[in-house]
């Protein structure tokens, strides 16, 4: 009888944990993102850009930057557009 109640306790805990994770995923939302990136390099390169995240009808500015090194020459500008999914707030969209 004691094994049956332990099994029942473990089963209830597993079902509750699965329900909590499903509920938190169900509350996640999505937004749209657009940005452009400029890159230039002559052995040492740099990149930067800007854009916007649209989430729940509000627009949030995005800035992008970085430095690179290696055998590289040239310059480019690229436009990106897409959907950001499974976020709860605008600050969930971060980069390094």
Which pLDDT band holds residue 65 (cuts at 50, 70, 90)? confident
83 in a structural domain: yes
Q: Are 66 and 47 in contact (CB under 8 A)?
A: yes
93 in a structural domain: no
Give the range among 2-6, 32-36, 51-55 with minimum mean pLDDT. Answer: 2-6
What is this structure's pTM?
Answer: 0.61
Q: What is the pLDDT of residue 2?
A: 47
Q: What is the pLDDT of residue 96?
A: 35
User: How many other C-beta atoms lie within 10 A of the C-beta of residue 33?
Assistant: 18
Q: What is the pLDDT of residue 66?
A: 87
Q: Are 52 and 62 in contact (CB under 8 A)?
A: yes
Which residue range is the domain that position 25 belongs to? 2-87
92 in a structural domain: no
Q: What is the pLDDT of residue 92?
A: 86
21 in a structural domain: yes
What is the tally of structural domains in the chain?
1
């Amino acid at each position: 009888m004691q094994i049956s109640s332990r099994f029942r306790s473990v089963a209830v805990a597993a079902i509750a944990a699965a329900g909590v994770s499903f509920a938190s995923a169900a509350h996640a939302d999505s937004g749209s993102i657009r940005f452009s990136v400029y890159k230039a390099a002559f052995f040492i390169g740099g990149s930067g850009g800007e854009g916007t995240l649209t989430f729940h009808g509000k627009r949030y500015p995005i800035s992008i930057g970085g430095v690179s090194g290696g055998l590289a020459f040239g310059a480019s500008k690229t436009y990106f557009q897409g959907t950001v999914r499974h976020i709860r707030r605008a600050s969930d969209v971060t980069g390094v």
